[in-house]
Structure 1
Amino acid sequence: MSGNVTVGLIRSLIDTMQGPIADVDSWDSLAMILEFPDGEFNEARGYLYSPDGVISAVASDPWAVRSAVKAYTDSYYQSGEALPRKVLVQFDRRAREYNIAFEETDETRWKVTPQNFRELREELRPTFD
């Protein structure tokens, strides 16, 4: 896989993310979940982690990031192959490290509910050792 498609994906998510109370300028790290229900990309949402400890919900416009997501998935999956259910993109901009994890079968993985949203946002927080 080319590093350029990974950089393009992360850059696209960052450039288009918005949230009602998100500090889109001074955050340290982010975790974004890309969703592919029925084999089609349709959502990019997640969290920004700020240095002051604030965690903000954010989303990226799926239409704006669609081409970057397609370029990324095309670098992993061949034409006609089933796409993953979800992709988790974690990025720490201070350390300049990232991790991308695929969920191939479990539609409920990384699903936010009123009961789990606090623990899930901690589970998704990027940590690189």
Structure 2
Amino acid sequence: MSVEPVVGLVRSLVENMRRVDDDWASFAMVLEFSGGEVSGSYGYVYSADGKPSATSARPTRIEPAVTAYMESYFQPDDALPVKILIQFDRTSGNYEVTFEDTDVTRWQVTPANIDTIREELRPQFA
């Protein structure tokens, strides 16, 4: 698999994240799928001092990059995941994409986990 589609995916998220200051150090973004298309996004950016801030990206703005990435990874008849988690560290350039095939509640933000999910999603690259 070429690295270009994942670079395009990360770039599209960076360019389209909402409510974000320019001094972020890393991000974690969850993309939700319905009918093979991005139906929602949510996540966090983390400042250099570690403070998390909520963010999202409008699905219509990131759809072309997401589609290119998914088409580079999956065959036309493959079952697509219900969610993906993209984590990126701006300083190191490290990234990770994690697929969730069936559990639509994975990575879901709720009142019960609002304080812990931010840390659960925070990029931790070894």
* CA distance in structure 2 between the partners assigned to 1:60 and 1:40 by the alignment: 14
Q: How high is the sequence identity, in percent, across the aligned residues? A: 51
Contact 1:39/1:82, CA 8 A, preserved across alignment:
no
Q: CA deviation at 1:37?
A: 2.8
Which of 81, 98, 123 aligns to 2:120? It is 123
- Secondary structure at the aligned position of 1:13 is classed as helix
Gaps of at least 5 residues in structure 2 are: none
Contact 1:43/1:62, CA 8 A, preserved across alignment:
yes
**Deviation per CA, 1:8-40, whole angstroms, max 9, x where unpaired?**
000000001012xx32x1111000001013433
Work out whether 1:104 is the aligned partner of 2:101. Answer: yes
Alignment-derived partner of residue 88 in structure 2: 91
Give the TM-score normalised by the residue count of structure 2.
Answer: 0.95
Work out whether 1:8 is the aligned partner of 2:8. Answer: yes
- Secondary structure at the aligned position of 1:43 is classed as strand
1:73-84 to 2 correspondence within 5 Å? 73-84=70-81
Alignment-derived partner of residue 57 in structure 2: 60
- Give the letter aligned to residue 123 of structure 1: E
Gaps of at least 5 residues in structure 1 are: none
Alignment-derived partner of residue 39 in structure 1: 36
- Secondary structure at the aligned position of 2:24 is classed as coil
Structure 1 runs (4+) deviating above 2 angstroms are: 37-40
Moved more, 106-115 or 78-87: 78-87
1:18-29 to 2 correspondence within 5 Å? 18-19=18-19, 22-23=20-21, 25-29=22-26
RMSD (Å) for aligned C-alpha atoms: 1.1
The count of corresponding residues between Structure 1 and Structure 2 is 126
- Give the letter aligned to residue 3 of structure 1: V
